[in-house]
Amino acid sequence: MYLHIDKRHMKRFSLINSLLLAVLAVAVIAALVAAWEPIERLELKLYDLRASLTSKSSLTSVVIVSIDQESANRLGGWPWPRTYFAQAIHQLQERGAKQIGLSVLYAENDPNPGLWEIRDIIRKIETDPGLLRPGQITALFPQLQETEKRQIRKAIVSSSLSALRNVVLPLLKEAEKRIDSDTALLSALAAAPNVVQPIAFILGDGGAKRNPPVPDYLQRNSLPASGTERFSTSDTLSAPLPEYARLAAALGHINALRDSDGIVRSDLLFIAFNNSLYPSFGLQLALKELNLSLHDVRIEENRVILGDRILPLIEGKKVQIVPRTASAYPIVSFADLVDGKVDANAFRNKIVLIGHRHSMPLEMLPAQPVGMLPSVDAIAHVVDVVLSKSFVSRPAWAVAAEASVIALLALMLAAFWSARLQLALITSLAILFIWTAISFSLFLTQGVWLKIAHPMVFFALALGVLFIRTALVPQRSEDAVGSEFFDTTDFRVRFAAKTDTGMVRDRNEDSYCADKHLGLLAVADGVGGRASGAVASRMTADLVTENLKKGFPDVSDAVKLTRSDLSETTKSLGMAVMAANKSVHATAELNPQLRNMGTTLTAMLFDGNRASIAHVGDCRAYLIRHISIEQLTDDHTVAVEHSKRGLSEDMAQMRHVLTRAIGITPDIVPDVDELTLTDGDILLICSDGLFNMVSDGEILAVVKSTGDPFRACTRLVELANSNGGHDNTTVVVAYIEKRR
């Protein structure tokens, strides 16, 4: 008769773990596809870490003229007169700058009330001086130089019309030129044909309204486009004053695309406006440096081609940049440039960017269109990326690869967590390490960006869920015996016992016996399911103890034992087991709820210098002697019968099925044996919950290193549970010492 009990199948604990891991994996993959901000923020930090390992200096000839705190202290608060920028452009032209990028947008005339007042007085003097208001000229004195003030006072005192027209009028016209910053900047731009100027958009859906035809200077700096849905769109454009824009070498937008943490790591190469595409400021500067025009640009689905350069597009619309450090580019203070305190060769054949930097205090930033906060650092990064070909790409297969890693981690944790905890952790960490190494390697060598935050987050969350579930599973150690001892005539036996429900099962069907008065140690592992297994194992352990205590006046059953040379002690143990079997079977027959209940049993009875062994089923007895471990019992399973008797392969597939158990039939013959003890022996009896989870080598290491039977039992149970704890685990350990 065979008991169809397959102990390999994982139960509800493993199934729920697998379902939780699957749900968690799907959730993290969805966050990956949707670019969920909390995880994306972590990924961006890891992106910066990889970027920091690349070249920390610019590979191109970019120089930044910084509108910084030092310049504000020297030149005054913002807004600065446009004459300062005119002076800066003149200085750069004289010093041989190849390209100039002026990132400050002047979309309106300079609001200079003093200039308007001077022009009003000039008009009145030239047409009808009688229109002048009393004190109108002297009110201008704060705008005039000291020599101009003295001459005008003399002219006013004379009260002659000729003095107004011959003295005051020329002085006012000279002052008008001096404080007319719009004209000064216009003059500087006219003398510098290599200045790229900014435009700006307020981004929207692009479909609410259509703008009237754009001016020619905007048309020259745009590409006609159809099907521009994948690009960011806008209904509102801010451009420089027409007289400025017509003098620009190129116009490019300065819309800063900031990530959720406020850092610029990408550039919108084009923005769609009125069915045209307008390039970014950095792209226009790079095109000028490459001697390419905007019409040399080819836009494809996921890339932009500039001559021999192919720029991969992220999300079909932006180019990813690698932020450099603050010292990546030469930086010159704007005030030093205006004052002429810069080396004459500092800008020769360079791309010079004028604008504020990301480190400037917010209160000092120039006023810009709503939502704009451009930074020359970000623009410099774009120019650097294009010219040095240091592109970052997200291949079409990237998301699938990242999702596959998450799925593989979930599969490894689900497959091994319940069976081998250490293997699950090692395998998952290896996968995560390999993926991280691949990600760093591809980023540093080929500019390929593969995300690693999402697999990391999944792994951390999965561990948290699994550890919490493991901790919440009832750990019902039904009983434990601390280190005790009993003496035979020759030896002292120090022993302990421990049983534990394990990590998967709902109840403990194991039992043990440790009777120091009899010198009996035993482990029973119930079979039959529900409560009947626990009943059978407990009954058997108790019945064997009672049978040994009361003795056997009828020894006729002893002839059924397989060996005739057995001691009386061994015969008694064997008969105690056979008698217990009859009682368990009879109880099952009388109680339908306990029908087919059974149990395995391995028992040791100590007497003098011997240990008698009786064994039924697949509990085991081990002998640890010196540095070796030996299994003393043979499992009564199909696998062992196959190896002994050559059973068929079909039978061999039932390798975990028991061939013998207590309580299944009215008669059973246990395997019996005797062991001669020596000083230093260690004996161990256990259920299959231990040896299926813990190797012989691990058992040997624990019992040899511990030295205390209770600590050994506790450590072995913990080890079985940490490796998965598929089954109930029961251990009895006995240390044999020669009596002194």
**Lowest mean pLDDT, pick from 229-243, 271-285, 552-566, 584-598:** 552-566
pLDDT tens digits, residue range 137-188? 655 556 556 666 666 666 665 555 566 566 566 666 665 666 677 888 999 9
For range 211-219, the mean pLDDT: 83
pTM: 0.60
Domain boundary among 359, 388, 417: 388
Total residue count of the chain as it appears in this document:
740
* pLDDT 10s digits, 129-149: 655 555 556 555 565 566 666
Look at residue 401 and tell me if it is in a domain: yes
At residue 317, the pLDDT reads 84
In a domain, 706, yes or no: yes
Tens digits of residue pLDDT in 326-346: 567 899 999 999 888 888 889
Residue 507, C-beta contacts closer than 8 angstroms, at least 6 positions apart: 476, 501, 531, 534
466-514 per-position pLDDT tens digit: 888 766 654 444 456 678 999 999 999 999 999 999 988 888 999 999 9
- In whole numbers, what is the pLDDT of the chain averaged over residues? 83
34-84 pLDDT, tens digit per residue, is 999 999 999 999 999 998 888 665 556 899 999 888 888 888 777 788 888
Q: What is the mean pLDDT of residues 511-521?
A: 95
HSE (CB half, 13 Å, CA atoms) of 169?
Answer: 16
Enclosing domain of residue 158: 113-179
Q: Is the pLDDT of residue 464 over 50?
A: yes
- Cα–chain-centroid distance for residue 534? 46
| Inside any domain, residue 344 | yes
Same domain (yes/no): 593, 727? yes
Mean pLDDT across 20-32: 94
336, 363, 388 - which closes a domain: 388
Residue 10's pLDDT band, with cuts at 50, 70 and 90, is very low
Give the residue among 460, 418, 427, 476 at the shortest CA–CA distance from 722: 418
156 and 199 in a single domain? The answer is no
Question: In which band, very low, low, confident or very high, does the pLDDT at 370 lie, cut at 50, 70 and 90?
Answer: very low
79: cis peptide before it, omega within 30°?
yes
The confidence score (pLDDT) of residue 423 equals 76
Distance (Å, whole) CA 137 – CA 157: 12
Is residue 7 included in any domain, yes or no? no
pLDDT at residue 653 tops 60 = no
Query: What mean pLDDT do residues 582-588 have?
Result: 92
Binning pLDDT at 50, 70 and 90, where does residue 1 land? Answer: very low
DSSP structure string for 414-461: HHHTTT-HHHHHHHHHHHHHHHHHHHHHHHHHH-B----HHHHHHHHH
SS3 labels along 373-405: CCCHHHHHHHHHHHHHCCCEECCCCHHHHHHHH
With 80 as the cut, is the pLDDT of residue 524 above it?
yes
Q: Structural domain tally of the chain? A: 4
- Residue 453 and residue 323 share a domain: no
- Shared domain for 566 and 645, answered yes or no, is yes
In this prediction, residue 140 carries a pLDDT of 57
Would you say residue 716 lies in a domain? yes
For 345: left if phi > 0, alpha if psi spans -120 to 50, otherwise beta; the answer is: alpha
| Any domain includes 1 | no
Asked whether 659 and 2 are in contact (CB, 8 A), the reply is: yes
The string of pLDDT tens digits covering residues 265-286 is 888 999 998 889 999 999 999 9
Q: Where are the alpha helices (DSSP H) in 447-531?
A: 453-472
Shared domain for 560 and 593, answered yes or no, is yes
Q: Report the b/e string of 367-400 with b at 16+ CB within 10 A.
A: ebbeebbbbbbbbbbbbbbbbeebbbbbeeebbe
Same domain, 299 and 428: no
Share of the chain above pLDDT 70, in %: 77
In this structure, the answer to whether residues 421 and 497 fall within a common structural domain is no
Assigned domain for 276 exists: yes
Q: Is residue 559 part of a domain?
A: yes
**179, 197, 229 - which closes a domain:** 179
User: Is the pLDDT assigned to residue 247 strictly greater than 70?
Assistant: yes
Stretch 214-231: mean pLDDT: 83
Q: Are residues 88 and 226 in the same domain?
A: yes
Select the more confidently predicted residue: 452 or 231.
452
Q: Can you give the pLDDT at residue 650?
A: 57
